[in-house]
């Protein structure tokens, strides 16, 4: 089925997607800043709360679904354009590379951030996720989060030729096959002793990315989109079931290296996020859509990329500073977390306003 451009998804900025992006980075911040260092008091309620917060690492999976949806949608809309490859890669370079290069430079120049770093050429070529998979470690703390950028860059090399040279229907069938195959690949690697590789490698995480691509096709195919609008109560039920399943995953084992999570857990979370995304773009009156349009969430979403790159660097630096000022461990933890959060948000906002956004606007001068 040939997709058609929809004004809500292809021609205008969808505020709910900014809210989803804000929600994704918020869960990552909660995970790194609060869930990991928190030692909950005794009691089942606190234990449950701690496990739910420890599921915050899956905010990266929401980013993957969003990326698949947005990039897949852009490529589907432009698949017949003569400037298809050139414009896509120029725009992506303007969006991804400038602040990423600054981040690499910052880590290289600060000794406390360089410990455990993999060879610099792996970061420069976006292959650090392969190095991390082989070592079974995240490497330098300041660059630990960049494994997901490597996955997305590898995805950007894979998806454009597929959408250009295959029909949309075949792309969707390939996407569904990928969604089904990824858990099996993760299980094989895990059983083979590669316990971290399923988390780091692009083919293993391609299910979340392709969920987003299939969702992008769905809202562009008139018949499918009409069915989604008519089936809105079913989507709500699916979102509730997905939330219950996520809660059960949190109760069993919220860590990203457990066998349950590696096999079906990643896919379950990706499908749940995909359902929430479809609700957001097909039913603007839904409670979920209204929540995603909240101004603070959208504002956080607009600076999410900078926050993602900066937040661990800020945490390491602020923790080091606070360790020299405060002797009390609880005060030191609260102080460093609060300071790091403020520094992260301030730097990310400044970066977006005066550095990233002008370059992005320059990139959009290249037209399909």
Task: State how far the Cα of 147 lies from the Cα of 129, in Å rounded to an integer.
Answer: 5
Question: Which pLDDT band, with edges at 50, 70 and 90, does 115 fall under?
Answer: confident
pLDDT tens, 310-320?
Answer: 999 999 999 88
pLDDT tens, 231-265?
Answer: 999 999 999 999 999 999 988 876 898 999 999 99
Residue boundaries of the structural domains of the chain: 7-363
pLDDT at 12: 63
Averaged pLDDT for residues 34-38? 89
pLDDT at 324: 75
* Residue in the block written with tokens 């997709």: 3
Tokens of 9: 């998804």
Residue 348: phi and psi, rounded to 5, are -65, -40
pLDDT at 330: 64
Q: Write down the mean pLDDT value for the chain.
A: 93
Tokens of 274: 């995909």
Q: Please report, for residues 12, 14, 226, 324, the alpha-carbon distance to residue 6 in angstroms, rounded to integers and kept in the order given.
A: 9, 11, 12, 56
Q: Which of 216, 217, 214, 218 is nearest to 206 (CA)?
A: 214
Task: State how far the Cα of 185 lies from the Cα of 161, in Å rounded to an integer.
Answer: 23
More confident site: 4 or 67 = 67
Task: State how far the Cα of 143 lies from the Cα of 103, in Å rounded to an integer.
Answer: 8
269, 61 Cβ separation under 8 angstroms: yes
Averaged pLDDT for residues 287-295? 97
pLDDT at 47: 85
298, 23 Cβ separation under 8 angstroms: no
Those residues with Cβ within 8 angstroms of residue 87's Cβ, 6 or more apart along the chain or in another chain: 78, 81, 366, 367, 368
Averaged pLDDT for residues 127-134? 97
What region does 123 belong to: left with phi over 0, alpha with psi -120 to 50, or beta?
alpha
Those residues with Cβ within 8 angstroms of residue 231's Cβ, 6 or more apart along the chain or in another chain: none
pLDDT at 9: 44
Task: State how far the Cα of 43 lies from the Cα of 28, in Å rounded to an integer.
Answer: 25
147, 200 Cβ separation under 8 angstroms: yes
Averaged pLDDT for residues 277-281? 97
300, 129 Cβ separation under 8 angstroms: no
pLDDT at 112: 81
pLDDT tens, 58-96?
Answer: 999 999 999 999 999 999 999 999 999 999 999 999 999
pLDDT at 8: 47
Task: State how far the Cα of 299 lies from the Cα of 21, in Å rounded to an integer.
Answer: 10
Is 202's pLDDT higher than 70? yes
Is 38's pLDDT higher than 90? no
pLDDT at 328: 61
More confident site: 37 or 6 = 37
């Amino acid at each position: 089925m040939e997709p058609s451009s929809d004004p809500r998804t292809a021609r205008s900025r969808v505020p709910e997607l900014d809210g989803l992006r804000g929600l994704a980075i918020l869960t990552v911040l909660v995970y790194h800043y609060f869930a990991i260092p928190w030692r909950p008091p005794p009691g089942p309620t606190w234990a449950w709360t701690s496990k739910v917060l420890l599921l915050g690492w899956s905010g990266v999976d929401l980013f993957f679904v969003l990326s698949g949806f947005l990039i897949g949608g852009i490529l589907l809309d432009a698949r017949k354009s003569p400037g298809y490859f050139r414009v896509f890669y120029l725009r992506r370079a303007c969006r991804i590379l400038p602040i990423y290069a600054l981040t690499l430079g910052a880590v290289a120049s600060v000794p406390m951030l360089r410990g455990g770093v993999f060879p610099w050429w792996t970061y420069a070529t976006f292959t650090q996720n392969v190095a991390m998979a082989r070592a079974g470690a995240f490497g330098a703390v300041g660059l630990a989060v960049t494994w997901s950028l490597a996955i997305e860059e590898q995805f950007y090399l894979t998806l454009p030729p597929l959408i250009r040279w295959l029909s949309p229907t075949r792309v969707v069938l390939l996407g569904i096959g990928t969604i089904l195959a990824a858990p099996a690949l993760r299980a094989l690697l895990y059983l083979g002793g590669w316990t971290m590789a399923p988390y780091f490698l692009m083919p293993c995480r391609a299910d979340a990315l392709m969920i987003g691509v299939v969702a992008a096709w769905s809202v562009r195919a008139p018949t499918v989109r009409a069915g989604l609008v008519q089936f809105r109560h079913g989507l709500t039920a699916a979102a509730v079931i997905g939330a219950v399943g996520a809660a059960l995953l949190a109760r069993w084992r919220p860590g990203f290296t457990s066998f349950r999570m590696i096999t079906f857990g990643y896919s379950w979370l990706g499908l749940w996020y995909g359902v929430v995304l479809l609700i957001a773009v097909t039913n603007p009156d839904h409670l979920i859509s209204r929540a995603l349009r909240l101004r603070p969430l959208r504002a956080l979403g607009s600076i999410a990329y900078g926050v993602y790159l900066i937040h661990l660097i800020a945490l390491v630096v602020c923790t080091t500073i606070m360790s020299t000022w405060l002797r009390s461990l609880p005060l030191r933890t609260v102080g460093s977390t609060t300071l790091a959060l403020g520094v992260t948000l301030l730097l990310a906002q400044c970066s977006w306003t005066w550095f990233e956004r002008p370059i992005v606007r320059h990139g959009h001068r290249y037209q399909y």
